[in-house]
């Protein structure tokens, strides 16, 4: 009996380890494909945040070394800034760059129209600002983020709010849009998560009903106390999803 349990444990460990490696490899393939297909010499590149972006920065650094791309990188977060510096890439910002050529960023979920939910890592406002000031916005993710409609796999929309008004914003959202908005709490410290903008995050669990995300986004951002939402509507032009079989699925925004 003990031997059987040990064998079962080894099988479970092998399965979980293989599954995790598959996810990471799919992230890497999506990131490499986006960088290779879209980044050109002398461009200004917006660098997103999150785990998939690590691979995009790796590929940017490799191409910079091999090809002398001479790119300048605009970060969307403190994490992105550190990745750029650690990779030896040229760091820039929005004060120096009036227009970004291309931004590459991840997502928490994407629907068939490339409407995105972002902000699971808390960087949604700066990510949206950089993407909005880019000629091209390309998304990279693993197969788990590719959905027919939002809410299939990711259950909430992050909303960045002024700390002074978080309770009022929470109440307004729940009254007008339904669902439940929860203040995101920190895991390694007491109290709520604080963003790079010194704001709080409300995670709105929106339920499974069909919604007009453009209208929903517009309504939320007009609530006093809301800085920005994690809904990226009509922003991404292209998405790359690394699949479990080792290939990459390319999706373009419907015309």
> Catalytic one among 64, 109, 127, 228?
127
**How many angstroms separate the CA atoms of 223 and 203, rounded?**
15
Q: What is the CA radius of gyration of the chain?
A: 19
**Known active-site residue 160:** no
Q: Which two tokens stand for residue 88?
A: 């030896």
Residue 87 neighbours by CB under 8 Å, 6+ apart: 57, 58, 60, 61
**How many angstroms separate the CA atoms of 165 and 188, rounded?**
24
Q: What does the DSSP assignment read for 164-232?
A: GGHHHHHHHHHHHH-SEEEEPBPSSSSSB---TTS-EEEEEE--SS---HHHHHHHHHTSTTEEEESEE
Question: Which sequence positions are flagged as catalytic?
Answer: 127
């Amino acid at each position: 009996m003990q031997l059987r349990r040990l064998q079962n444990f080894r099988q479970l460990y092998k399965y979980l380890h293989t599954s995790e490696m598959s996810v990471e490899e799919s992230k890497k393939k999506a990131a490499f494909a986006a960088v290779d297909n879209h980044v050109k010499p002398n461009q200004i590149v917006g660098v997103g945040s999150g785990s998939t972006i690590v691979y995009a920065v790796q590929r940017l650094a490799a191409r910079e070394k091999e090809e002398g791309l001479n790119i300048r990188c605009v970060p969307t977060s403190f994490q992105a800034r550190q990745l750029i510096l650690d990779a030896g890439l040229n760091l820039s910002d929005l004060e120096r760059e009036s227009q970004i050529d291309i931004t590459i960023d991840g997502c928490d979920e994407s629907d068939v129209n490339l409407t995105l939910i972002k902000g699971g890592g808390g960087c949604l406002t700066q990510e949206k600002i950089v993407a909005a000031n880019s000629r091209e916005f390309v998304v990279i993710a693993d197969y788990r983020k590719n959905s027919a409609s939002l809410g299939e796999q990711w259950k909430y929309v992050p909303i960045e709010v002024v700390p002074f008004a978080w309770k009022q914003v929470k109440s307004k959202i729940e009254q007008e849009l339904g669902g439940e908005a929860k203040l995101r709490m920190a895991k390694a410290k007491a109290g709520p998560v604080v963003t790079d903008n010194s704001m709080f995050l409300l995670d709105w669990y929106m339920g499974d009903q069909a919604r007009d995300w453009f209208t929903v986004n517009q309504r939320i951002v007009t609530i006093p106390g809301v800085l920005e939402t994690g809904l990226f509507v009509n922003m991404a032009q292209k998405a790359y999803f690394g699949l479990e079989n080792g290939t990459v699925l390319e999706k373009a925004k419907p015309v």
